[in-house]
Amino acid sequence: MRFRTTIGLTLLLFLLAAVFARLGAWQLARMTEKEQLFARFENAPQLTLGEAIDSQAQFARVRAWGRFDTRRHLLLDNRIHQGRAGVHVLTPFYTSDGHTVLVNRGWLPLAADRRALPQVPTDGAPREISGRLSRLESAGPRLGEADRLRPDTWPQLVTWLDHAPVAHALGEDLEHWIILLDATQADGFAARDWQPATMAPATHGAYALQWFSLATAAVVIWLLLGFRQGGRTRRENGINMEKPDA
């Protein structure tokens, strides 16, 4: 069986194969990064809040004694839980050793018209809380202007979580960290199965397999088209050779 192709087709399909393979390799690299991130999350040490903040131990398991602010809650918008739109409730917590830190207490539903904010029942009695330490700022690309927080309106919605406007609105020396409240704590709400990232390592692995499959498909298509064109050329040459001379 003869093989015949064109330079243009070869360049196109091999360019596509190279791009798909590069994307597959990138997803494999992301999978490795996520595996390391999830391993750090699972093996994070247990520290006091002060020790964790001093050592910047992201994901550390922390305990703190203090009290919640009963009135000033931030509602982090655009949080989806079981297909429903809602918010994460962020409440300042004042520790007995002088720290002020936001605590993510979990998810509450948000009304469709967004005018009626959810009630946030909060007991201001002294208590011990436990959770994971995470960085305060939201990550990812942003669209639109930054949130403008008002110090006299609570609770209030925020789209992105930034330290400076939150600290200014609260009028507090706010830590650059946030506590993700443990699911076993009674002071929280829904969806507290915290993870270090939205996308798990296995998902990146699945994407990598898809990209490598597309790269392989591009090469297979090049081969099939080449053999088909070679076969067609051979048949045409055979027909021309069988024609009698005029």
Neighbours of 92 (CB within 10 A): 21
Query: For the chain, which residues make up each domain, given as ranges?
Result: 7-37+201-242, 60-181
pLDDT for the residue 242:
57
pLDDT value, residue 17: 95
Task: For residue range 15-46, list pLDDT tens digits in order.
Answer: 999 999 999 999 999 999 999 999 999 999 99
Q: What is the pLDDT of residue 115?
A: 77
pLDDT recorded at residue 111? 87
57/6 Cα distance (integer angstroms): 58
Q: ω into residue 92 within 30 of 0, thus cis?
A: no
Enumerate residue ranges in the chain where pLDDT < 50: 246
Instruction: Please tell me the predicted confidence (pLDDT) of residue 191.
Output: 95
Q: CA-CA distances (angstroms) from residue 240 to 1, 234, 244?
A: 18, 10, 9
Report the C-alpha gap between 36 and 102 in whole angstroms.
26
Give the model's pLDDT for residue 245. Answer: 56
Query: Which tokens belong to 225?
Result: 């088209």
Q: How far apart are the C-alpha atoms of 177 and 232, rounded to whole Å?
A: 68
**What does the DSSP 8-state code read for residue 146?**
P
Q: What is the secondary structure of 12-70 as a DSSP string?
A: HHHHHHHHHHHHHHHHHHHHHHHHHHHHHHHTPPEEEHHHHHHTT-TT-EEEEEEEE-S
Task: Report the pLDDT value the prediction gives residue 53, as an integer from 0 to 100.
Answer: 94
Q: d(Cα 194, Cα 93) in Å, to the nearest integer?
A: 19
pTM of the prediction? 0.82
Q: Determine the pLDDT at residue 90.
A: 97
| 173 token code pair | 């020396």
As separate numbers, helices (DSSP H) first and strands (DSSP E) second, the chain gives: 4, 8
pLDDT, tens only, 170-203:
999 999 999 999 999 999 999 999 999 989 999 9
**Residue 200 pLDDT:** 93
